[in-house]
Protein backbone atom coordinates (compact mmCIF):
# COMPACT_ATOMS: atom_id res chain seq x y z
CA UNK A 1 0.00 0.00 0.00
CA UNK A 2 2.87 2.35 0.81
CA UNK A 3 4.35 1.81 -2.69
CA UNK A 4 1.06 2.79 -4.33
CA UNK A 5 0.75 5.90 -2.20
CA UNK A 6 4.31 6.95 -3.04
CA UNK A 7 3.73 6.31 -6.76
CA UNK A 8 0.47 8.29 -6.71
CA UNK A 9 2.10 11.20 -4.86
CA UNK A 10 5.04 11.35 -7.28
CA UNK A 11 2.72 11.11 -10.29
CA UNK A 12 0.54 13.89 -8.92
CA UNK A 13 3.47 16.26 -8.32
CA UNK A 14 4.94 15.47 -11.74
CA UNK A 15 1.62 16.33 -13.36
CA UNK A 16 1.37 19.58 -11.38
CA UNK A 17 4.93 20.48 -12.40
CA UNK A 18 4.23 20.06 -16.12
CA UNK A 19 0.90 21.87 -15.98
CA UNK A 20 2.34 24.79 -14.03
CA UNK A 21 5.31 25.21 -16.39
CA UNK A 22 3.21 26.15 -19.40
CA UNK A 23 5.12 28.92 -21.17
CA UNK A 24 2.27 30.90 -22.75
CA UNK A 25 -1.22 31.73 -21.63
CA UNK A 26 -3.98 31.35 -24.18
CA UNK A 27 -4.85 34.56 -26.01
CA UNK A 28 -8.07 36.42 -25.39
CA UNK A 29 -9.72 37.36 -28.69
CA UNK A 30 -12.78 39.56 -29.12
CA UNK A 31 -14.45 40.21 -32.48
CA UNK A 32 -17.29 42.70 -32.90
CA UNK A 33 -20.43 41.24 -34.44
CA UNK A 34 -20.67 44.42 -36.58
CA UNK A 35 -17.36 43.77 -38.33
CA UNK A 36 -17.75 42.41 -41.84
CA UNK A 37 -15.22 39.72 -42.65
CA UNK A 38 -12.98 39.29 -44.52
CA UNK A 39 -11.65 42.81 -44.10
CA UNK A 40 -10.05 44.44 -47.14
CA UNK A 41 -7.49 46.76 -45.54
CA UNK A 42 -5.92 48.09 -42.35
CA UNK A 43 -4.08 51.26 -41.43
CA UNK A 44 -1.24 51.00 -38.88
CA UNK A 45 -1.05 53.32 -35.88
CA UNK A 46 2.64 54.17 -35.83
CA UNK A 47 2.56 55.99 -32.49
CA UNK A 48 4.07 53.13 -30.51
CA UNK A 49 6.95 53.16 -28.03
CA UNK A 50 8.63 49.97 -29.25
CA UNK A 51 9.72 50.77 -32.82
CA UNK A 52 11.42 47.37 -33.20
CA UNK A 53 8.12 45.50 -32.69
CA UNK A 54 6.33 47.99 -34.94
CA UNK A 55 8.90 47.38 -37.68
CA UNK A 56 8.33 43.63 -37.55
CA UNK A 57 4.58 44.23 -37.82
CA UNK A 58 5.08 46.49 -40.86
CA UNK A 59 6.89 43.63 -42.61
CA UNK A 60 3.90 41.29 -42.21
CA UNK A 61 1.23 43.24 -44.11
CA UNK A 62 0.81 46.01 -46.70
CA UNK A 63 -0.90 48.63 -44.54
CA UNK A 64 -3.01 51.29 -46.27
CA UNK A 65 -3.05 54.80 -44.75
CA UNK A 66 -6.43 55.50 -46.39
CA UNK A 67 -8.24 52.63 -44.64
CA UNK A 68 -10.95 53.27 -42.02
CA UNK A 69 -9.74 50.37 -39.81
CA UNK A 70 -6.71 51.23 -37.63
CA UNK A 71 -4.51 48.56 -36.05
CA UNK A 72 -2.69 49.48 -32.86
CA UNK A 73 0.07 47.39 -31.29
CA UNK A 74 0.31 47.57 -27.52
CA UNK A 75 2.82 45.87 -25.28
CA UNK A 76 4.45 46.15 -21.91
CA UNK A 77 7.55 44.37 -20.67
CA UNK A 78 9.17 43.73 -17.30
CA UNK A 79 5.87 43.95 -15.43
CA UNK A 80 6.37 44.16 -11.68
CA UNK A 81 3.44 44.08 -9.32
CA UNK A 82 4.00 44.87 -5.67
CA UNK A 83 0.43 44.11 -4.65
CA UNK A 84 0.02 41.53 -1.91
CA UNK A 85 -3.09 40.31 -3.75
CA UNK A 86 -0.81 38.70 -6.36
CA UNK A 87 1.66 37.21 -3.90
CA UNK A 88 0.58 33.60 -4.53
CA UNK A 89 0.74 33.98 -8.32
CA UNK A 90 4.19 35.52 -8.13
CA UNK A 91 5.48 32.83 -5.75
CA UNK A 92 4.14 30.03 -7.95
CA UNK A 93 5.95 31.50 -10.94
CA UNK A 94 2.77 32.14 -12.95
CA UNK A 95 2.84 35.93 -12.87
CA UNK A 96 3.18 37.39 -16.39
CA UNK A 97 6.31 39.32 -17.25
CA UNK A 98 4.79 41.10 -20.25
CA UNK A 99 1.76 41.28 -22.54
CA UNK A 100 0.95 41.93 -26.17
CA UNK A 101 -2.22 43.51 -27.46
CA UNK A 102 -3.46 44.11 -31.02
CA UNK A 103 -6.54 46.30 -31.36
CA UNK A 104 -8.40 47.08 -34.58
CA UNK A 105 -10.68 50.09 -34.40
CA UNK A 106 -13.01 51.88 -36.78
CA UNK A 107 -12.93 55.40 -35.44
CA UNK A 108 -13.26 54.93 -31.69
CA UNK A 109 -15.22 51.66 -31.93
CA UNK A 110 -13.25 48.53 -31.05
CA UNK A 111 -13.79 45.92 -33.78
CA UNK A 112 -11.15 43.32 -32.86
CA UNK A 113 -8.89 42.68 -29.91
CA UNK A 114 -6.10 40.14 -29.37
CA UNK A 115 -4.50 40.03 -25.92
CA UNK A 116 -1.99 37.58 -24.46
CA UNK A 117 -0.05 37.50 -21.20
CA UNK A 118 3.53 36.29 -21.63
CA UNK A 119 5.97 34.83 -19.13
CA UNK A 120 8.96 36.33 -20.95
CA UNK A 121 9.38 39.74 -22.56
CA UNK A 122 7.55 40.48 -25.82
CA UNK A 123 9.59 39.77 -28.93
CA UNK A 124 9.10 39.69 -32.71
CA UNK A 125 7.84 36.09 -32.62
CA UNK A 126 5.02 37.11 -30.29
CA UNK A 127 4.04 39.92 -32.70
CA UNK A 128 4.08 37.48 -35.63
CA UNK A 129 2.01 34.94 -33.72
CA UNK A 130 -0.57 37.58 -32.77
CA UNK A 131 -0.77 38.91 -36.31
CA UNK A 132 -1.15 35.39 -37.73
CA UNK A 133 -4.15 34.93 -35.44
CA UNK A 134 -5.57 38.28 -36.62
CA UNK A 135 -5.12 37.20 -40.25
CA UNK A 136 -6.83 33.89 -39.57
CA UNK A 137 -9.76 35.64 -37.86
CA UNK A 138 -10.23 38.66 -40.13
CA UNK A 139 -8.41 38.40 -43.44
CA UNK A 140 -8.89 34.70 -44.17
CA UNK A 141 -11.77 33.61 -41.92
CA UNK A 142 -13.23 30.15 -42.25
CA UNK A 143 -16.50 30.21 -44.09
CA UNK A 144 -19.59 28.98 -42.27
CA UNK A 145 -20.86 25.91 -44.05
Q: What is the tens place of the pLDDT at every residue in 32-56?
A: 999 999 999 999 999 988 889 999 9
Identify the H or E element spanning 82: none
In a domain, 131, yes or no: yes
In a domain, 119, yes or no: yes
Per-residue model confidence as pLDDT tens digits over 116-127: 999 888 999 999
72 Cβ contact partners less than 8 Å away, ≥ 6 residues apart:
45, 48, 102, 103, 104, 105
CA distance 105 to 126: 21
Report how far apart, in Å, the C-alpha atoms of 14 and of each of 43, 46, 59 are.
47, 46, 42
**Residues 46/73, Cβ–Cβ less than 8 Å:** no
Per-residue model confidence as pLDDT tens digits over 56-91: 999 999 999 999 999 999 987 766 665 555 555 555
Domain residues for the domain of 49 are 24-139
In a domain, 9, yes or no: no
pTM metric for this prediction = 0.73
In a domain, 88, yes or no: yes
CA distance 44 to 67: 9
In a domain, 62, yes or no: yes
In a domain, 94, yes or no: yes
Number of domains in the chain: 1
Amino acid sequence: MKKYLTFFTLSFFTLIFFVSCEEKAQPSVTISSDLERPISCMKLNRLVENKELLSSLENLYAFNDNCALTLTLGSKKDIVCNSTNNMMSKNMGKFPKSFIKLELREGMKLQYSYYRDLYSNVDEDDVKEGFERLKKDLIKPKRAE
